[in-house]
Copies of this chain bind each other. A is one copy, B any other.
Amino acid sequence: MIRIVVDTMPIDASVELALVEALPAGAVATFTGLVRADDGVATLTLEHYPGATEAALRAVAQRAMSRWSLLGATIIHRVGPMHPGDRIVFMAAAAPHRGDALAACAYLIDRLKTDAPFWKQETRGADARWVEARDSDHAAAARWND
């Protein structure tokens, strides 16, 4: 099962977790990225490339499914304006064995950071600033060597 959602609606992690837990997997690893509540950002706005985004996320999930023994991979990414504490992204990998679930989950988020066309803009007071890409994200993605 591959589940990809890109939407302006808040991410319901309970619903998403229940969907992957319903697979007869045994092991489910998840990662949630949240708007940081402690660095003065009032609004975080995610822009994306409709169509290309979903295709990129699906390609990442498919590579994870073929690389590890997974029963399911989920990537939910919110777009539009968000506020501190909101979920930006939720991903989950379900597998018979925990090693596969944990590694695939880390892979999904590392690859998403470099492969999917999203752009973050932070608003602090009157100041709106586009977030710069980080070298550490490319290093994290490169370690998967695919």
Chain A residues with a Cβ closer than 8 Å to the other chain, count: 32
Answer whether A33 and B102 are a contact pair too, CB < 8 Å, given A13-B14, A24-B38.
no
From B29, B36, B140, A105 is in contact (CB under 8 Å) with: B29
Answer whether A32 and B28 are a contact pair too, CB < 8 Å, given A102-B105, A102-B106.
yes
Q: Contacts of A17 on B, CB cut-off 8 Å?
A: 13-14, 17, 32
CB of A64, distance to nearest CB on chain B (Å): 14
Among A24, A36, A140, chain B packs the most CB atoms within 10 A around the CB of: A24
Q: How distant is the Cα of A38 from the Cα of B25 in the complex, in angstroms? A: 8
Q: Contacts of A14 on B, CB cut-off 8 Å?
A: 13-14, 17
- Which candidate, A1-9, A74-82, A93-101, A117-125, is the interface stretch facing chain B? A93-101
Number of copies: 2
Answer whether A34 and B30 are a contact pair too, CB < 8 Å, given A98-B109, A140-B99.
no
Q: Contacts of A22 on B, CB cut-off 8 Å?
A: 85
A19 close to B (CB within 8 Å): no
Which A residues form the contact surface with B (CB < 8 A)?
13-14, 17, 21-22, 24-38, 84-85, 87, 96, 98-99, 101-102, 105-106, 109, 140
